[in-house]
Amino acid sequence: MSARAALEGVWALGGGDPAALERVELAGEEPALPSVFPVGVAASACIGAAGLAASELWRLRTGEAQTVRVAMRNAAVAYRSEHYLRVDGGKVAGPDRARSYFRDASGRWMQLHMGYAHHRDGILHELGCRDDEAEIARAFGGRDAFEFEDALAARALPGYALRTRAEWATHPQAAALAAVPVIEIARLGDAPAHPLPAGDRPLAGVRVADLTRVIAGPVCGRTLAAHGADVLRIHPPHLSEVSVLAMDGGRGKRCAHVDLRDPGDRRSFDALVAGADVFVQGFRPGGLAALGYAPEAVAERRPGIVYVTLSAWSERGPWAERHGFDSLVQTATGIVAEGSAARGIDEPSPLPCQALDHSAGYLAAFGAMMGLARRATEGGSWLVRVSLAAAGRWLDGLGRIDGLAAPDPDLAAVADRLERRPTAFGEMISVRCAEELPATPSRFALPAAPLGSHPCEWA
């Protein structure tokens, strides 16, 4: 599928005006990265949709239309933004244990996601061994991958057996996902029309409460910030975050520590929600609902809210409440196995970037902006749903390319896409936004800041 056709499909799902598609220019061809999956097409379509939504909000504010341009090569680089981030010239600590693969008793690979300490400790406890690669291999070597997958899920731990595409097609969760579009936007409740506030950028004056971690959710908030929103990232102080992801996903945002189990913090957060325009959350389905922040509850408290929810497996099917990360979804759904088969190797071969995360993040931002447009024109509160698994199914449906021989660009190869900026961490080198809007260029008004650097209040 071409990038144009992919964008047209996403734009239609979001309820966008078909005439607006005349104002978007997509340039470049696959392969953008070394893969048989058209990651460049996905990146162009998702970033293009978010950029076009920002352009449409600007037109709604001012009556001024502008053309949105996305080059596939630039979009593919943006899909690897965390890969290229540097501070004071050096790499920043990343989730080096996230893609730990081991063979079970039958020889099947399984991915144990140990990028976070509490997940690593729980998996080691389940295996009954120390944190040593050889010991983990021996302990898991006597287990069955599918049984261990269920055992980990029962303890809310992340690990999935590697399945082929054919094996995944027969799974009940795959059947549930067949009815789930890559993005869903639905009316959540009634509220008067709420015009966009005055400002010189598409999202100026829009307040976003960003309750997300890892990559997909932070990319959503970061994209909204790039178009002028006031984004406050809310991070639970008891949860760790991978340094490079916190920095890369924190560009353009302020960051507050909030523990919703603490009465004082809840009062501050409730006051924040009362003034929010967009509420983005990336916890497992039911997690925030148990604390009183389900979509319906937030819409009742703040009529006119645009509530964006991201999940791993969607909110349908037997795996709806299971943990998941991009690489795990790739492993379980056949993407990794197909990469291995294409290369003629036995070892697991994931995508050359976290394409499901980035697709879901940009689509979530697109959905948030479309919700704001609907709120401005027809009123109402709006619910946006996006999931990694639905993004993976959408990517699978884009077709295949002959892309394994494409170069894997290093830092020097993408130097023209990088910007330098002083931050509290040091001089940060990071990837510039891929979407080009001539009247309202995307940019970050604020540098990345350490988690918990700001109070839980709007600027």
**Distance of alpha carbon 91 from alpha carbon 240, whole angstroms:** 19
Domain presence at residue 451: no
Note the pLDDT of residue 87: 98
First to last CA, the chain: 43
Q: What share of the chain in percent tops pLDDT 90?
A: 94
Domain presence at residue 15: yes
Domain presence at residue 450: no
Residue whose pair of structure tokens reads 């979407």 in the numeric block: 435
How distant, in Å, are the alpha carbons of 291, 295, 442 from that of 154? 21, 26, 43
User: Quick one: 247 and 372 in the same domain?
Assistant: yes
The CATH number covering residue 69 comes to: 3.40.50.10540
Last residue of a domain, one of 176, 198, 228: 176
User: Quick one: 271 and 382 in the same domain?
Assistant: yes
Residue 260's SS3 state is: coil
Note the pLDDT of residue 450: 96
Q: How much is the average pLDDT of 67-82?
A: 98
The answer, yes or no, to whether residue 127 has pLDDT greater than 80, is yes
The CATH number covering residue 149 comes to: 3.30.1540.10
Residue 185's SS3 state is: strand
User: Quick one: 166 and 216 in the same domain?
Assistant: no
Q: How many CB atoms lie within 10 A of CB 9?
A: 18
The residue range of the domain holding 285 is: 3-92+180-315+352-436
User: Quick one: 59 and 134 in the same domain?
Assistant: no
Q: What is the pTM of this model?
A: 0.97
Number of domains in the chain: 2
**Distance of alpha carbon 106 from alpha carbon 127, whole angstroms:** 17
Phi, psi of 235 (to 5 degrees): -125, 130
Last residue of a domain, one of 129, 149, 176: 176
Residue 139's SS3 state is: helix
Domain presence at residue 38: yes
User: Quick one: 73 and 215 in the same domain?
Assistant: yes
Q: Which of these, 160, 181, 203, lies nearest to 50 by C-alpha position? A: 203
User: Quick one: 240 and 380 in the same domain?
Assistant: yes
The answer, yes or no, to whether residue 103 has pLDDT greater than 80, is yes
pLDDT, one tens digit per residue, over 43-57 is: 999 999 999 999 999
Burial label for 410, CB within 10 Å (0-12, 13-18, 19+), is exposed
pLDDT, one tens digit per residue, over 270-327 is: 999 999 999 999 998 888 999 999 999 999 999 999 999 999 999 999 999 998 999 9
- Transcribe 87-122 into DSSP letters: ETTEE----TTTTEEEE-TTS-EEEE--SSHHHHHH
User: Quick one: 152 and 253 in the same domain?
Assistant: no
User: Quick one: 65 and 145 in the same domain?
Assistant: no
Note the pLDDT of residue 239: 87
Domain presence at residue 458: no
User: Quick one: 47 and 81 in the same domain?
Assistant: yes
User: Quick one: 32 and 170 in the same domain?
Assistant: no
Note the pLDDT of residue 98: 61
Residue 373's SS3 state is: helix
Last residue of a domain, one of 176, 191, 221: 176
User: Quick one: 80 and 185 in the same domain?
Assistant: yes
**Distance of alpha carbon 73 from alpha carbon 222, whole angstroms:** 20
Domain presence at residue 339: no
Domain presence at residue 278: yes
User: Quick one: 200 and 289 in the same domain?
Assistant: yes
Could you tell me how far CA 129 lies from the centroid of its own chain? Answer: 33
* Angle subtended at Cα 378 by Cα 376 and Cα 380, rounded to the nearest 5 degrees: 85
Helices (H) and strands (E) in the chain, counts: 17, 17
Domain presence at residue 68: yes
Buried b (16+ CB within 10 A) or exposed e, 89-101: eeebebbebbbbb
Note the pLDDT of residue 96: 67
**Distance of alpha carbon 309 from alpha carbon 298, whole angstroms:** 12
Confidence of residue 97 (pLDDT cuts 50, 70, 90): low
